[in-house]
Structure 1
């Protein structure tokens, strides 16, 4: 639920502390501003361990390519603790870039289904940091990933902003070089009056991960490039400018990121200021954490932190908390300031929760514990205000009280936004079960009787309603590679389909002496009455099967192209196994049974995994979208990813009609019905899987592994069923029609 409420400078969530003078707009909103300007840099997929020194450990004695290449963040945090700090920056999955940018600007939590919008983001309508900066009159510039322009259209200076395509994961340098080329001149003092906020989004680290993985020389080179750029930025900024560098997410050992492992959510956050305003509340906290498991901060915490440092209101829907190091002062003992900003943030969260509960018309039971914590925290604050000389411990305790409220509220929101609509779940399972029953009857040839049953059910429901029974009604090589890939697809699909549609049946007609061995080779027709020669038709006995198998072979070529090398080999083996299966079906007279369609279903599922795929977002081979293309192109790029991901199931679905056509003579009766039954049986196989995954996802909705195992498996089951449905209807059945027309031109209709 997105609320359209907006935080306003003139309407703070709480009154000022006793005796405090109201702030003027130039001084900041709600809290005195610390910085006038900011340079905010996102290094896409900057994992935390990329930024800290390598420490040998048992089983990990040697550094990897990504170690000790980007050292500027750790150096400054250790050598200049009042000027910089470095912390692990934990993302909320899904860790796709678009969703992370939403969290980094709104302070809200994502939902699992948001991952699907990464290819086509829409403008953020809810209150956010970028909108608040714009409303405060800040002149903003964006450089880099064009996703920002999908989320914040019209927010940035059109003369200074430079956006670059973000989906070409094979290109490591164009975006980064472009950002640096335009960023550094803007930071020079002669141009400092042209902007207030600069957002720079580097993509090279992320693309190096996708293309090579993190442990590769290309990653080391890219991190060293970023280290050099950051040092140049440090030299160029002035005392009134805050420099923030962060990763939006991490990456796993293969360079992917979906949010399933710790490496994928453990990014880095580094803040720097030349005037030295940062501190640590304890000497033991001076050095940055050695790993991301220590002293981490959530990505949503960046929103209130930047809002207060830059003097703008905290976005209305924010759930994050201020980062301690930014508000404790140089000596780390300014508990009054830290408690004040903690109270402001908690009060805004409290105001948001009131509006959220009203919009949802909830009874507030879920928020009962946070409400008690809020009352306790405000009582502690009131005691502080009445005290003439509050002790440091009182400030620490009050700060802890507001922090406890914020954490509990965040926990409640996580549970609420992972709630389940049981009615819709049961309805979905019921509809899927009904579909399974219909497919089951049709697959076995009971369509007419099933129609009668459905008619009876209809009238039963009608009567129940009326009677209220229930009470509720590199470039050159790259160009060549792309051209070759396009040629292969052209041969497989364009030329292949033309050949398939217009080719004659695969027959060999020979005139030969009328010998017994020739008669056994095919069908023999005497040329004239009493003639000793005959016409032998080789291929007659399998005219339908061989004619239709052309379709299977042309699609196998296209699928092999978009697979990785080992995956292409696996598809080749699959094609051989399909041929073997067809021979087994013929030998054992199984053409009219469900053996062929079901075994093809098992083969499709088996080779899904054999081609390197899993039921996880991180295993999607996004690079397949660029095999025959130079850059992202709709709708071809998504279709190529689908062909790569579900290639095995697609090929097996196309092969289903062959189980009913193999070794069948030209005028065999009932072939069309046999094909329909075979396809229905194949769809039934996947419908059973889809239903089972839905039931288990619903039953295990509170399981620890719901979002890591059961939910992705359910989504995969649904996606596979949809892909197989479309393939069966438009490819396999359509291909059967062309095959029949070709045979009919030679032998006549069945």
Structure 2
């Protein structure tokens, strides 16, 4: 190598290194700006409700008692508050996810009489029918989100949750607001607790530590440990035969087996039937163990959907069970239209879960918690003869007075509501006049009105923060567009100025806004939000300041901005717009999976027509047609894999799970096994066409991919064998589970860490072939490099195979099939782009974005909270293990987006031989990747705009809010994956290949 050549190589390597740093920093700017934008929109849109720290006091009634004679003759016991208690003690049994139809008898007229759960838990219904004065069975309606932590808050405080509370289901903190458990503790009552450890995060200081036995709650694969623990400890406590010899006043047991059976198997499964039968026997034993002065409450905290999950607001998720029992006659019945109690038979009336709070408080002689919005359950105060209307009126008036005190303290629109004040005046008037029937009606109407207003007004949207978030994200979209589609590629001399200007702008504005917030509380009282806004403004001002200088100085700004675009840019724009328009209607959002499948198929059809019209040689036409049909066919094939959302109705049939369960079937494993046989050969055929099935490729594809897919298939086969009960109990089952976990961890570690480390150390899919080009014995042996023409693409695609392996072990069998189809579609798309010379066109990244979005749905997901496959977190462990649990849920949920984000550099690198200008190649690669980010940004921006527009829509929390959250999370995942794909993997590949071949 000559000196001049060495200098040229070193100069080129240094230039490449600088560009590598530059593109990484530019991506970091875009990501930072988008993160700040999402943070502001979240601040304005997903607000947590304000919580008052006030507590009700025993000695202070919620009204001036001198004005009413309703309580003038009360002689309260020393440990009673506000009103005379009805029970000295209480046993509260929470059976998690006890859907109401689980406790109903088998109806011969029902078409679904073969359901496993029917008539498996008949005790509650039979007792209520046989002893109506001792028992009360009601539908127990939960407020969404139907997650356990939020339901426990509602069941103890009587307050309403907000949508964002669903995200804190795994991070409970001690409840600060007033609740009946805290009120019991203030009266020095001894509270015993056994079961779900979620209660410990909320109420631990209030429990008698000697009578407390918590169990880990989030291992959905464990159906028995918590339930057996409750059964083991509850009866000795009830009978005072436990070794502590401690007295108790209230005992709480929270069982999880029904919920876990639903998550793991679905409601219509033999394991669910066994678990309900166990609960039936358990409650019978509890009834036999309690004394006459004890109130027994059996309830569910929520229901479950047809596949056993919960979190949303479908009827089956919100409709749970409440059963109250007393050994002495206590409960009454009243048929009255304003209570909607026209039938207690098969229909059973419904009560809100928050209604339990005031009911249990008054029955146990406690003050009603300050923030409570629920109302007493009338049957618990009527008396066994159903004639004690005065007791009902007293309970209703006390609760209504507390609600009025709360709304007056809370202030705002509730305190100044004229209609509410008029209703409250009627309540007071009837209380003074002693008109009990009218007082009951007026109190009920007042509570209903306040509750409805709270449902409407609870979330006071911060429109300013929402607009800031939308504006910042819109600016980020414009910045990315200018960088990816407007600025010239060669701007090396300008990038240094751009880096300095943006960095100084971000730091200067950020510091200024932070100081202003600390001194004059502007622009926000929170210094953190002010700092974020300052950084965002600094990035925008610095970026556009330099860009404007570049464009105006070149006198090309009008040409660059408004010049007619090529037809593929128009097609890419059209596809993007068609996707984002789905957010304009709740019906479109409900059927987004079908829309995306149609768009991908249409995209393949356009590629087919264009290739047949524009390619000249017949072989290229045939290949382009083949690859186009491959994209179209696999799109329709993957669309057969679906999970239906409630709004899609009976026209949609879920195929992702075995019928009536939340598990995969053995047929799904067989399909995955078949795919594992043909996928490596399919990928190798793409490599063989460019002579790249050499070197690392043969190891990665022939051995690594085959083994990973085979072990994944074996894992899911073992999982189904365990679910079906094909494995014996005891040591055999324990060893079986340990082998499963070992397989998952080995695959995860090898594919995510070991394989990528081996790739980073230098993996090239080339081979040097020596040959003698002649017959003369003196002819020198010559060498040629096989795979040289696709050295970048073949090498970088190995990274995709690695992450495919990670996603595969985190996904259920049919999701693995969907991801396999996606991998082939990506290869087919790359071939089409190469045949039509569309390396720099936006259609490549946009097509990848559509593929990733479409396969999100075909991997068993929907834009709903219940569709999250939480059980994926327990693939690598029987309990929650950070960060394994979280990583598996991430790769399970966003596997398709991760794969397309890592694949987008291939748009610019597929079938490219070592470049003489590797720095320019890396810049083009980064711009292709930014085009994918731009697509996802526009999708997220649209979801934000319509979420804000529909913020008072009936379906906001059921449809539009979850769709925004999905878009925001997808954008975050795409940003990070693109950064890794460009700044780490593509940068390394280009740099290493440039170094090897000294181009």
TM-score, structure 1 length as denominator? 0.91
1:253 paired to 2:306: yes
Cα offset for 1:445?
4.8
Q: Within 5 Å, which residues of 2 pair with 1:51-70?
A: 51-57=103-109, 60-70=111-121
User: Where does residue 26 of structure 1 map in the other structure?
Assistant: 78
Shift of 1:736: 1.8
Is the deviation greater in 483-492 or in 726-735?
726-735
Cα distance in 2 between the residues matched to 1:290 and 1:624: 39
More deviation in 725-734 or 255-264?
725-734
Secondary structure at the aligned position of 1:683 is classed as helix
Distance 1:53 1:504, change over 3 A: closer
- Describe the SS at the equivalent of 2:908: helix
Contact 2:76 2:84 in 1 (8 A): no
Q: Which runs of 5+ in 1 are unaligned?
A: 385-393, 466-471, 517-527
Per the TM alignment, residue 193 of structure 1 is displaced from its structure 2 partner at its CA by 5.3
Aligned to 2:288: 235
Is 1:651 paired with 2:902? no
CA shift, 1:154, in A, is: 2.1
Give the equivalent residue in structure 2 for 1:280.
333
User: Is 1:424 matched with 2:465?
Assistant: yes
Structure 1 residue 702: Cα displacement: 2.1
Q: Does 318-327 or 25-34 show the bigger shift?
A: 25-34
Mapped to 2, the partners of 1:173 and 1:217 lie a distance apart of 15
- Once the two structures are TM-superposed, the CA of residue 507 in structure 1 deviates from its matched residue by 1.0
CA-CA distance at 1:667 after TM superposition: 2.7
Deviation at 1:418, TM superposition (A): 3.4
Deviation, structure 1 residue 420: 2.3
The question of 1:82 aligning with 2:332 is answered no
Confirm whether residue 535 of structure 1 aligns to residue 587 of structure 2.
Answer: no
Change (3 A) 1:41 1:365: closer
- Pair 1:63–1:398, CA change in 2 (3 A): farther
Aligned counterparts of 2:211 and 2:443: Cα–Cα separation in 1: 41
Return the offset for 1:475. Answer: 2.4
Inter-partner Cα distance in structure 1 for 2:265 and 2:414: 50
Q: Is the CA contact 1:46–1:246 (under 8 Å) kept in the aligned structure 2? A: yes
Give the superposition deviation at 1:280.
0.9
Moved more, 537-546 or 245-254: 537-546
Aligned 8 A contact 2:905 2:981 in 1: no
* Matched residue, 1:567: 815
Task: Indicate which of 564, 582, 600 corresponds to 2:848.
Answer: 600
Paired residue for 2:945?
A: 695
Q: Deviations over 1:621-660 (max 9, x none)?
A: 1111011112111232122111101100001101111111
**Bigger mean CA offset, 705-714 vs 48-57:** 48-57
CA contact (8 A) 2:943 2:960 kept: yes
Deviations 1:660-685 (A, max 9, x none): 11111223421110111011101001
Query: Partners in 2 of 1:566 and 1:717 — Cα distance?
Result: 23
1:449-494 CA distances to partner (integer Å, 9 max, x unpaired)? 9999x99xx99xx9xx9xxxxxx98422211111111111122112
**Is the Cα–Cα contact under 8 Å of residues 335 and 343 in structure 2 kept in the other structure?**
no
Q: Provide, for residues 539-563 of structure 1, a one-character-per-residue CA deviation record: whole Å limited to 9, x for no partner.
A: 1111111111111000001111111
Q: Which structure shows the bigger proportion of residues in helix conformation?
A: 2
2:266 maps to what in 1? Answer: 213
Between the two proteins, the alignment pairs up a number of residues equal to 710
User: Quick one: which of 412, 425, 439 aligns to 2:480?
Assistant: 439
1:382 aligns to 2:439 (yes or no): no
Partner of 1:494: 753
Alignment of 1:676-687 (within 5 A): 676-687=926-937
Residue 637 of structure 2 corresponds to: none
CA distance in 2, matches of 1:741, 1:702: 53
CA distance in 2, matches of 1:334, 1:480: 63
Partner of 2:346: 290
* Equivalent residues of 1:31, 1:308 under 8 A apart: yes
Q: Is the 8 A contact 1:280 1:286 kept in 2?
A: no
Distance 1:159 1:432 in 2: 54
Tell me the residue number matched to 1:97.
Answer: 148
Distance across 2 between alignment mates of 1:289 and 1:247: 20
Q: Which runs of 5+ in 2 are unaligned?
A: 1-49, 514-521, 524-732
Kept in 2, the 8 Å contact 1:501–1:738? The answer is yes
**Residue 419 of structure 2 is aligned with which of 369, 382, 398?**
369
Corresponding position of 1:415: 456
Q: In the alignment, which residue of structure 2 is the partner of 1:201? A: 254
Alpha-carbon deviation of 1:281?
A: 1.8
Q: Does structure 1 residue 667 correspond to structure 2 residue 915?
A: yes
Q: Which stretch shifts more, 644-653 or 74-83? A: 74-83
| Mapping 1:737-748, distance limit 5 Å | 737-748=987-998
Question: Measured at CA, do residues 746 and 27 of structure 1 come closer, stay the same or move farther in structure 2, by a change above 3 Å?
Answer: closer
For 1:689 and 1:76, the matched residues in 2 are separated by 54
Task: Find out whether 1:12 has 2:61 as its counterpart.
Answer: yes
1:159 partner SS: helix
Given candidates 772, 777, 788, the residue that maps to 1:513 is 772
Q: 1:315 aligns with which of 369, 373, 377?
A: 369
Q: Residues 556-635 of structure 1 correspond to what in structure 2 (within 5 A)?
A: 556-635=804-883
- Judging changes above 3 Å, is the alpha-carbon distance between structure 1 residues 731 and 156 closer, same or farther for their aligned structure 2 residues? farther
1:309-361 deviation line (CA, Å, top 9, x unaligned): 1111111000000001100001111100000010000000000001100xxxx
Deviates more, 1:334-343 or 1:188-197: 188-197
Shift, 1:731, TM fit: 4.6
Moved more, 626-635 or 207-216: 626-635
Shift of 1:285: 6.4
Is the 1:89–1:269 contact (alpha carbons within 8 Å) kept by the matching residues of 2? yes
- 1:585-616: per-residue Cα shift (whole Å, max 9, x none)? 11111111212211110010010011110000
Which residue pairs with 1:724 in the alignment?
974
Which residue of structure 1 aligns with residue 94 of structure 2? 42
Q: CA deviation at 1:364?
A: 5.3
The alignment status of 1:244 with 2:285, answered yes or no, reads no
Q: Report what 1:479 is aligned to.
A: 738
What is the rounded CA distance, in whole Å, between the counterparts of 1:123 and 1:204 in structure 2?
25
**Distance in 1 between residues matched to 2:462 and 2:147, nearest whole Å:** 26
Query: CA separation of 1:190/1:507 partners in 2, compared to 1, >3 Å: closer, same or farther?
Result: closer
- 1:144 paired to 2:185: no
Q: CA deviation at 1:375?
A: 0.4
CA–CA distance in 2 between the matches of 1:356 and 1:699?
27
Report the secondary structure of 1:54's partner residue: coil
Residue aligning to 1:224: 277
Measure how far apart 1:532 and its partner are.
4.2
1:400 to 432, 441, 460: 441
- TM-score norm. by structure 2 comes to 0.69
What is the rounded CA distance, in whole Å, between the counterparts of 2:290 and 2:363 in structure 1? 17
CA shift for structure 1 position 81: 1.2
2:748 and 2:211 map into 1 onto residues whose CA distance is: 41
Separation in 2, partners of 1:15, 1:38: 31
CA contact (8 A) 2:55 2:178 kept: yes
Contact 1:84–1:270 (Cα < 8 Å) also in 2: yes
Provide the C-alpha distance between the structure 1 equivalents of 2:972 and 2:56, rounded to a whole number of angstroms.
43
Question: What's the offset of the Cα at 1:28?
Answer: 0.9
